[in-house]
Structure formats: C-alpha cells, structure tokens
Amino acid sequence: MVEFLIVLPLLLMLLFGTLQIAFIMHAKVTLNYAAFEAARAGSLNGARMFFMESAVARTLASLYTHADNVTKFKDGRDRVRKQIEDGYVRIEVVNPGPGAFRDFGVMDGSAVVIPNDNLIYRGIKLGSESSQTIQDANVIKVQVYYCYELIVPFVNKVMWAMMRYSPTDSMPSDLPLVDPKHRFGQPESGTFAEDCVKDKYADDGYLGIPIRAQAIMRMQSAAVSPGP
C-alpha cells in the first residue's frame, strides 16, 4: 500500500500526460489542415483575410464537433469564430508582404493588387523592396497560430505552469542545433505564445498551449493589399 501511494501520483501523471499530448497532436494535425485550407481560400480570393478566417473556422470546428448533425458543426464553427475574434487564433500572411505590393502593385478600382495573369510572359526582375520577382509575389504563405486549451485535469495546470513560470534560460545555450529562441521556458515578449500562456487568457480559466502551422500555395487570383 505504501509503495502504491508513492507510485500513484507519478503513474497518473504519466497516463494523463500521454492523453493530453495525444490531444495536442490531434489539434496540431487539424491545424496543419486548417493552414492548408486558409492558403487555398486565400489563393482563390485575393489573399483576403475574411475568406481565410472562414476556412480556418470550418476546419477547426472538427475539434469541437462531437455529433453527426449540422447544428453541432455550426456550434463548433461559431466557437472557433469567437476564438478568432478574441485572439486565441491568429492568421498571418507572410507572403506577399508590403514590399511586394509596393514593387508590383497596380490600381484596380480602389484597391492595390498584384497582377496574376500571364506570369510566364512577365519579367523576372527583382523588386527593390521585396527582393522578389512578380512570380514569387504570386505565392501565398500563411501561418496560423492557435492557443489550444489543455483539458486533461491536473496535467493541464502542470504543463501550463511549466511554460508560464519556467526561466527562459532553463536549457543550456551551448547545446548544438538549438536556436536560443526555441529553448524551453517562457516565450519571448510580445509574441502570440506569450499571450497564450500569460494571464491574459488564464484569468478566464483558459490554460492554453501555443501551436503553429503554415502552408504555401500558388495564387490563383490577384492578391489584394490589406491596407493603404
């Protein structure tokens, strides 16, 4: 009995931890597909954020749809839409960037767009600001960040606390092939990961872990500048 009481906490930690990591990996696979869907929606709709957000909401809805009916799917999709509004999900368009629009953008009505037609006949001169050709500017790269909620009891608090309170130098700096930015510990200031694990969400009882996915696809429409 004494031995069992000593081993029990470690055994539960191992079992619950394995279950929680399985949930995280399932969310990561789903996020990978959501990033692909976001890139596809962006390539077909001028890299507009609205269409990419809709694609991400449709895909991540599967994480919260546990019944085979339309109502549950809509509830899951609406939940993800709310997470996007609240900052738990962030979509970033890495390419084309502002420099590409300044180098190759043309006016189309009231919007600035990067031409997508006849790319094979256009020049391959590098833009002065983007250091890209117009063909490179017609490739969309999307990164999707998700603050996934840890849901397994006890283990969720342990994993969250390890990220929230561990010192940033908890991994030796002289280890080979380890980028200092990727050391275990508190995330860098001003990043999405910091917002995820800091008290911004924890005050609401949301213990999250930041995960990220990215996708690249050829543009099938003219990219529209998101701002001036």
d(CA 165, CA 60): 29
The arrangement of strands across the sheet holding 208-218 comes to: 89-95, 139-149, 208-218
- Beta carbons of 104 and 127 less than 8 angstroms apart: yes
**Which residues of the chain are modeled with pLDDT < 50?**
none
Number of H helices, E strands in the chain: 8, 6
pTM, whole model, 2 decimals?
0.84
Give the per-residue pLDDT at 72: 87
Please give the structure tokens belonging to residue 209. Answer: 């872990």
Q: Tell me the one-letter amino acid at 52.
A: M
> Using one digit for the tens of pLDDT, what is the confidence trace for 69-120?
888 889 999 999 999 998 899 999 999 999 999 999 898 888 899 999 888 8
Give the per-residue pLDDT at 198: 76
d(CA 46, CA 37): 14
